[in-house]
Amino acid sequence: MAGGGTAGWMAAAAIARVMGRAAAVTLVESDAIGTVGVGEATLPHIRAFNERLGIDEAEFMARTRATFKLGIEFRDWGQIGDSYIHPFGTFGRGSGAVDFHHYWTRLLREGKPLPSLDSLSYACALARGGRFDRPATDRTLAGTYGYAYQFDAPLFAPYLRAIAEEAGARRTEGTVASVERDGESGDIAAIVLNSGKRIEGDLFVDCSGFRSLLLGSALEEPFVDWSHWLPTDRAVAMPCRTRTAATPYTSAIAMPSGWRWRIPLQHRTGNGYVYASAFVSDDDARRALETAVEGEALAAPRVLRFKAGRRRRSWVGNCVAIGLASGFLEPLES
């Protein structure tokens, strides 16, 4: 693995735990290079990942200061005051091959008086009430939803590192100075670190973030730019103290030049404003976020720059890119 952080240690832990001693896993990272460290909201797939690695949920939540997440609230998108929750679950109960929401939308078109759609979701009812319960394992409505987590990203990577190293993965301090390629296949033969150390391998996992040192720089895999569809290209992030009980959902709140996230954790609330720099300056975006957040700021606002898009292929030869090295979209459905 070239690069650590959440992506690198997720990959290292997964390969080391699944392959066991059949694979020698080496992760290269440098303490001098920081991580993005603001990815705090997840989708239900994270539970399958954790379960595959044998991670105990209670321990994981305690170590990462996590909270439960039943869905995503979208606030102020239609008009100021609007609020809709996209739950990790279904609405109502369908009939045969027809899902319930089709009946609801048909009646809506006919002008019939209807309750809001999210009032007909078990997960939304829990979320609106600030409650959480694990889904039932039977076929009742109490089993029609899933859940994910909201956690402190800078705590997740060290937690995964311990799991990976326990499974046999090794960490090497350093940065990638150059990449050697096989003269015949074009595959990566080895990476050379700034210390001069040469590391050979059969599979190279690029977790180097936006720099994409292996897939993008060394293998020259083209970047497919999506900014003409998704013009947001920056985010300003700032944590604050938690003033109220943590809600079991993430909020995505419309803003004049983008949208704002609110992610409640056990010990703080994560906040950020994703915006298009063509329409608002960094300073104005900072001020807008500082005005909007609830609670005392715990750190100065930090501006992150990105470009929406992906590498044309995520896997080329013996190199696969994970996380930001492969691509990035604004995390509106995260």
Per-residue pLDDT of 145-180, as tens digits, reads 999 999 999 999 999 999 999 999 999 999 999 999
Lowest mean pLDDT among 16-20, 98-102, 255-259: 98-102
Residue percentage of the chain with pLDDT more than 70: 99
Distance from C-alpha of 331 to C-alpha of 312, rounded to nearest angstrom: 20
Fold type of domain 5-40+152-225+311-328 = FAD/NAD(P)-binding domain (3.50.50)
Q: How much is the pLDDT for 37?
A: 64
pLDDT of 96 strictly over 90? no
Tell me phi and psi for residue 322, to 5 degrees: -120, 140
Per-residue pLDDT of 41-54, as tens digits, reads 999 999 999 999 99
Residue percentage of the chain with pLDDT more than 90: 87
Averaged pLDDT for residues 101-116: 93
Q: Where are the domains of the chain?
A: 5-40+152-225+311-328
- Determine whether 112 is an active site residue: no
Q: How much is the pLDDT for 56?
A: 97
Burial of 163 (0-12, 13-18, 19+ CB in 10 A): buried
Farthest-apart Cα atoms in the chain, separation: 72
- Residue 72: how many CB atoms within 10 A of its CB? 23
pLDDT of 36 strictly over 80? no
Between 138 and 198, the higher pLDDT residue: 198
Q: How much is the pLDDT for 140?
A: 87
Q: How confident is the model at residue 39 (pLDDT cuts 50, 70, 90)?
A: low
Lowest mean pLDDT among 17-26, 92-101, 170-179: 92-101
Burial of 259 (0-12, 13-18, 19+ CB in 10 A): buried
Per-residue pLDDT of 284-299, as tens digits, reads 999 999 999 989 999 9
Q: How much is the pLDDT for 332?
A: 87
Helix (H) or strand (E) holding 9: helix 5-19
Given a contact cutoff of 8 angstroms between Cβ atoms, the answer to whether 273 and 334 are in contact is no
Q: How much is the pLDDT for 307?
A: 94
Q: How much is the pLDDT for 97?
A: 86
Distance from C-alpha of 248 to C-alpha of 88, rounded to nearest angstrom: 11
The chain-wide mean pLDDT, for the chain, equals: 95
pLDDT of 304 strictly over 90? yes
Distance from C-alpha of 249 to C-alpha of 42, rounded to nearest angstrom: 10
Per-residue pLDDT of 193-225, as tens digits, reads 999 999 999 999 999 999 999 999 999 999 999
